[in-house]
Amino acid sequence: MSVTLDKRPVPEDVPADIVEDELQRQRRGRQLRYAGVTVALGVLAFGVFVVTMMVGSYRLTGEQVLRSIFGVGSTPEVDFIVLELRLPVATAGFAVGLALGVAGTLFQRLLRNPLASPDFVGVSSGASLTAVTGIVILNAQDITVPALALGGALVSSVLMYLLAFKDGISGYRFILIGIGVSAFMSGLVSYVITRGTLHDAREAMHWLVGSVGLSGETETRLLVVALVVLLPLTAALSTQLRSLELGDDSARALGTRVQLAHLALIAISVALTGLATAAAGPIAFVALVAGPVANRLLGPAAGGVLAAGFVGATLLMSADLVAVHMFPAELPTGVVTGLVGAPYLLWLLATSNKEGAGG
């Protein structure tokens, strides 16, 4: 049996103990790199989280922000600015970005395609359709709009799963059906907007762009609770996810219950995407970009779900900082993520086609 080390075949006359030692060394190297990069990305995300509370019409230092968060020697004035005004928005940005990063990389690894993102396979468009219908037709307010968005994400996901299921789930088939469902629902969104008043249409369009500032206390709390529950569950399913990346047949040979694992991982991705969309609207491209960026940093230890989540959180909070503070007028966060993500998508399509992996 041939063995490869660092992607190079090993001659058959090399002693087995030497090969085993080298494999162990490579495994330890990957584990150390995974841990180091993940911790570094977590520190970076927390740093941006603190910076978002430092800037504004009243500037604060990092020490003031940290003292206020941890309740150590802060003043009432600083506590009001940090805890009442800025912390809820920063928490929403961190949680939404983390959820989108995790959901995006789960989709990409599960369907084995870098274009497999909730942005493009109908999850976000399902949330958009029900939310816009609530705003324009039902005059929905407050918590009703996020609840409708979450319901729409779940319904569209079930629809795609049923349409794509044919003796199992094929990633290519799931993506094509998802793109079709997304296009259909986007058309319905446009139709619903034309049925509303000018005020309702403007409100719907603002929601459709997506912004961290849209998130209310209840939506943010639900998303944080979901992350606390679902991230450990994702870690528990990591072995099944790695086996599914080898293909369904190989996964079955390794003892994985393929359909159950598919369903569980897709459910986690949909729940995180739906709750993130319910909180901040359908912010584009964060879920698409986070996983590949994390994989570049992880190198041979690629595939880290938590690392992708931290990248998503960093990207979204940075985009919100730019949208709020770098332009003469405050912009929705989705405008900035779109400006960054659209060129990346074009590059991804071009390089995928050159490599013959673009479908």
Average pLDDT, integer, range 154-170: 80
Q: Looking at the domain assignment, is residue 254 inside a domain?
A: yes
Report the pLDDT value the prediction gives residue 20, as an integer from 0 to 100: 66
Strand partners, 169: 165
Fill in the DSSP letter of residue 11.
P
> Quick check: pTM over 0.95?
no
Residue 288, pLDDT > 70, answer yes
What does the alpha-carbon distance between residue 11 and residue 3 come to, in Å, rounded to a whole number? 8
Report the pLDDT value the prediction gives residue 339, as an integer from 0 to 100: 86
**Residue-number span of the structural domain to which 260 is assigned:** 3-352
pLDDT band at 1 (very low <50, low <70, confident <90, very high): very low
Report the pLDDT value the prediction gives residue 305, as an integer from 0 to 100: 92
What does the alpha-carbon distance between residue 223 and residue 219 come to, in Å, rounded to a whole number? 6
Long-range own/partner contacts, residues 293-301 (CB < 8 A, 24 or more apart): 294/37, 294/41, 294/101, 294/105, 297/37, 297/41, 298/33, 298/34, 298/37, 299/33, 300/26, 300/29, 300/30, 300/33, 301/30, 301/31, 301/33, 301/34, 301/37
Check residues 174 and 167 and name the one with the higher pLDDT: 174
- φ, ψ at 10 (rounded to 5°): -100, 130
- CA–CA distances in Å: residue 301 to residues 161, 224, 245, 269: 30, 27, 14, 22
* pLDDT tens string 41-64: 999 999 999 999 999 888 999 999
Fill in the DSSP letter of residue 86.
I
Q: Looking at the domain assignment, is residue 329 inside a domain?
A: yes
**DSSP E strand boundaries for the chain:** 3-5, 8-10
- φ, ψ at 35 (rounded to 5°): -65, -45
Fill in the DSSP letter of residue 81.
I
Q: Say if CB 181 and CB 160 are below 8 A apart.
A: yes
What does the alpha-carbon distance between residue 158 and residue 270 come to, in Å, rounded to a whole number? 10
Q: Directed axis angle between helix 171-194 and helix 123-136, to 10°? A: 20
Strand partners, 4: 9
* pLDDT tens string 315-347: 999 999 999 988 888 888 999 998 888 787 777
Mean pLDDT, the chain, integer: 85
Domains held by the chain: number: 1
Check residues 121 and 276 and name the one with the higher pLDDT: 276
Q: Which residues of 58-67 are buried (b: 16+ CB within 10 A; e: fewer)?
A: eebeeebbeb
Q: Which residues, including other chains, have CB under 8 Å from residue 219's CB and lie 6 or more apart?
A: 92, 143, 146, 275, 278, 279
Q: Looking at the domain assignment, is residue 357 inside a domain?
A: no
Q: Which residues, including other chains, have CB under 8 Å from residue 331's CB and lie 6 or more apart?
A: 323, 324
Report the pLDDT value the prediction gives residue 135, as an integer from 0 to 100: 85
What does the alpha-carbon distance between residue 63 and residue 12 come to, in Å, rounded to a whole number? 60
CATH number of the domain that residue 46 is part of: 1.10.3470.10
pLDDT band at 200 (very low <50, low <70, confident <90, very high): confident
Identity of the residue numbered 220: T
Q: Looking at the domain assignment, is residue 306 inside a domain?
A: yes
What does the alpha-carbon distance between residue 231 and residue 39 come to, in Å, rounded to a whole number? 16
Residue 353, pLDDT > 60, answer no
Q: Say if CB 283 and CB 316 are below 8 A apart.
A: yes
Average pLDDT, integer, range 117-135: 86
Residue 176, pLDDT > 90, answer no
Q: Looking at the domain assignment, is residue 359 inside a domain?
A: no
Q: Which helix (H) or strand (E) holds 331?
A: none
* pLDDT tens string 21-33: 666 777 787 888 8
Report the pLDDT value the prediction gives residue 79, as an integer from 0 to 100: 92
Q: Residue length, the chain?
A: 359
